[in-house]
Amino acid sequence: MDFSSSLLLHGLLALLYSARATGTGYVENILENDTVCGLVNNLNVISLEDESALVIKTGPTIQRWTGEREFNCRFILTSPLEFGAFAVVQRMSFRRNAQGDCIDYVQFRHTEEKISIGDIINIKIRSPETWGPKICGNIRDRDDYHDFEFDKNTRDDELIRNSFIDHRGLIEFKIHLRNKSLDDDEELHFEIVFTLYRECDGDNGMWKSCGSRTCIYERFFHDGKLNCPYKDCKDESGCRPTTALGASAGLFNSTVGIKITAGLLIVLSVYFAFSWLLGCRGPRSFQVSVRSAEIQRVQHLEATTVPRESSATTHSSGACCKDRSPPLYDSLFPS
Cβ-Cβ contacts under 8 Å for 6 (sequence gap 6 or more): none
pLDDT at 167: 93
CATH of domain 14-252: 2.60.120.290
Q: Which residue has the higher pLDDT, 23 or 59?
A: 59
User: pLDDT by residue (tens digit) across 116-143?
Assistant: 444 555 455 456 689 999 999 998 754 4
Query: Would you place residue 277 in the very low, low, confident or very high pLDDT band (cuts 50, 70, 90)?
Result: confident
Question: Residue 322: pLDDT above 80?
Answer: no
Query: Would you place residue 25 in the very low, low, confident or very high pLDDT band (cuts 50, 70, 90)?
Result: confident
Q: Which of 7-11, 109-113, 249-253, 303-307 has the highest mean pLDDT?
A: 109-113
pLDDT at 251: 34
Q: Which residues of 103-129 are buried (b: 16+ CB within 10 A; e: fewer)?
A: ebbbbbbbbbebeeeeeebeeeeeeee
256: phi then psi, degrees, rounded to nearest 5: -65, -40
pLDDT at 7: 38
Query: Would you place residue 4 in the very low, low, confident or very high pLDDT band (cuts 50, 70, 90)?
Result: very low
Radius of gyration of the chain (CA): 41
For residues 82-95, average pLDDT? 94
Lowest mean pLDDT among 65-79, 96-110, 216-230, 320-334: 320-334
Q: How far apart are CA 106 and CA 214, in angstroms?
A: 25
pLDDT at 159: 86
| Domain residue ranges of the chain, discontinuous segments joined by + | 14-252
- Using a pLDDT cut of 70, give the percent of the chain over it: 55
pLDDT at 143: 41
Measured torsion, CA atoms of residues 323, 329, 333, 335, in degrees rounded to the nearest 10: -120
**Mean pLDDT score of the chain:** 71
Lowest mean pLDDT among 45-49, 66-70, 151-155, 298-302: 298-302
pLDDT at 148: 40
User: pLDDT by residue (tens digit) across 221-248?
Assistant: 999 899 999 887 788 877 544 433 333 3
